[in-house]
Structure 1
Amino acid sequence: MKKYENLIRHSLIWLCLCSSLPLYSQPESYSPEQLTTLAQQWLDAQLASDTTTVYQTDISSLDPRIGSKHCEQALDFSLSQLLTQRQNTIVIRCSDTTAWQLYAPVRIDEIVATLVLRQNISTGSMITADMLETTSRARRFVRGNLVADANAVIGAKTKRSLSMGQILTFQDLCLVCKGDVVTIAIRDNGLDVSASGIAMSDGSLGDVIPIQNRQSKRTVKAEVVAVNRVSITF
């Protein structure tokens, strides 16, 4: 029995000694496919920190002919340009004694909610809710001041012919058209009043156009703030 107890004791001592010996890890080996995946995961983590924007990415796979890469340290990832640049490059670096770096081209698109037309619309048509639908598009396809809320343009009229599937912008519309009867919101020293007027020219959101007061016949400059609504601040 004592013989077996000594054997067990010596075995335990040996295990303790082995566990206290330093461990020397071998360099990590990465295939081009693994490096591409790691670069994508790193980029996804960077983009996830921006909770207000949706992104779509397309990374080019590293050439398999470069073979596996070894690195004793943690890999370093960075972008060659600002995150806002659509055409970009992920730089993969190893900084150990056999330093190396690789480049993975990537396309980064910001995705935005847009209103698109469900039908062809002729010049001068009034926008109604059934003409519109919301979809997601890459920001690069948007030209002009994007319309995000359908309620902001219901009742507006088109300046030109528009095609089915086209992204709608404020530049395509006159929220106030020449000859329209509009409401003039007037703010003067904290006092808010309103009056009725006639638009003397077309205007889209933010445009300043001449409006004739229907009662006084006086013409004033006012900012277009909504469909058939303008604002003056004194």
Structure 2
Amino acid sequence: MKKYENFIRCLVLSCGISLALATPALSESTAQYTPEQLTDLAAAWLEQTLDVQATDLEIQLSALDSRIGSKDCAHQPTFNLPNNYNPRQTTVQISCSAPLSWQLFIPVRLTEWLEVVVSRQNITPGTMLTADMLELQRRERRLVRGLIVQDPTQIIGSKNKRSLSVGQVISLQELCLVCRGDVVTIQINQQGLAVSTTGIAQHDGSLGDTVQVRNQQSGRSISTEVVGVNQVRVKF
């Protein structure tokens, strides 16, 4: 009977040794990361990866649940975004390969902001815009439509083709930088030679539009591109 007891005792001890060997030991270089620390690291990684300051991007992370507990990692945790991720809502993957492989996912909301020119007052169609009628406001990018204006000086002196209400975002499609019948400056740049003359606009046009202008000196109609308020450039 004692032989069997000794055998069982030996078997238990040997199993204990095997189990101990199968359990990975924490090395001196292994660090523990709490859910809060992992959330902070993910936020810092996102800010650097997405260049938050350059794009005026607001990041909102859903903090990891504290019930997950601390995670061991023998190296710096790895952070990744999905390929072709949604620019408004996505997830950050946090992973580690040693001493045990694990991965976590943090939901993220991304909001991009823009400084855009808006109307400070109600403006009737055909009004020449002045500096006191305009101001810059911060707006969410996804809510802004059209060819926005981010520099008020770019459109001072232009005229609006439609009514503008207080706080309305101004787009170039709503303006004529060159209006029919206005005297405009014609810029001619060719082979390093730059000259200018004046003409009469035959059509309304916004930035980048092609308009016909009648040269006041020659009376000839020429094709030009709108480059600014009452400014056109000859197209060759």
**Counterpart residue identity of residue 215, structure 2:** N
**Counterpart residue identity of residue 140, structure 1:** R
1:205 aligns with 2:207: yes
1:45 aligns with 2:48: yes
Is the 1:114–1:148 Cα contact (8 Å) retained in structure 2?
yes
Aligned partners of 1:169, 1:57: CA distance in 2, in Å?
Answer: 27
Is the 2:93–2:106 Cα contact (8 Å) retained in structure 1?
yes
TM-score (norm 1): 0.78
**Counterpart residue identity of residue 61, structure 2:** I
Match of residue 37, structure 2, among 24, 34, 46: 34
Is the 1:187–1:233 Cα contact (8 Å) retained in structure 2?
no
Aligned CA distance change for structure 1 residues 44 and 51 (closer, same or farther; 3 Å): closer
How far did 1:222 drift? 0.5
Query: Which blocks of at least 5 consecutive residues in structure 1 are unaligned?
Result: 1-22
- More deviation, 202-211/26-35: 26-35
TM-score (norm 2): 0.77
Is the 1:90–1:103 Cα contact (8 Å) retained in structure 2?
yes
- More deviation, 113-122/77-86: 77-86
Aligned partners of 1:97, 1:180: CA distance in 2, in Å?
Answer: 75
Secondary structure of the 1:192 match is: strand
Give the equivalent residue in structure 2 for 1:135. 137
Match of residue 169, structure 1, among 168, 171, 184: 171
Aligned partners of 2:232, 2:50: CA distance in 1, in Å?
Answer: 39
Aligned CA distance change for structure 1 residues 210 and 36 (closer, same or farther; 3 Å): same
Is the 2:186–2:232 Cα contact (8 Å) retained in structure 1?
yes
How far did 1:128 drift? 0.7
Secondary structure of the 1:36 match is: helix
Give the equivalent residue in structure 1 for 2:93. 91
- How many corresponding residue pairs? 211
Aligned CA distance change for structure 1 residues 51 and 44 (closer, same or farther; 3 Å): closer
Match of residue 121, structure 1, among 123, 138, 143: 123
**Counterpart residue identity of residue 170, structure 1:** L
Is the 1:127–1:153 Cα contact (8 Å) retained in structure 2?
yes
How far did 1:99 drift? 1.2
**Counterpart residue identity of residue 112, structure 1:** L
Is the 1:188–1:233 Cα contact (8 Å) retained in structure 2?
no
Counterparts of residues 1-234 of structure 1 (less than 5 Å)? 24-25=27-28, 28-48=31-51, 52-81=54-83, 85-234=87-236
Aligned CA distance change for structure 1 residues 33 and 214 (closer, same or farther; 3 Å): same
Aligned partners of 2:157, 2:40: CA distance in 1, in Å?
Answer: 49
Aligned partners of 2:79, 2:103: CA distance in 1, in Å?
Answer: 10
How far did 1:40 drift? 0.9
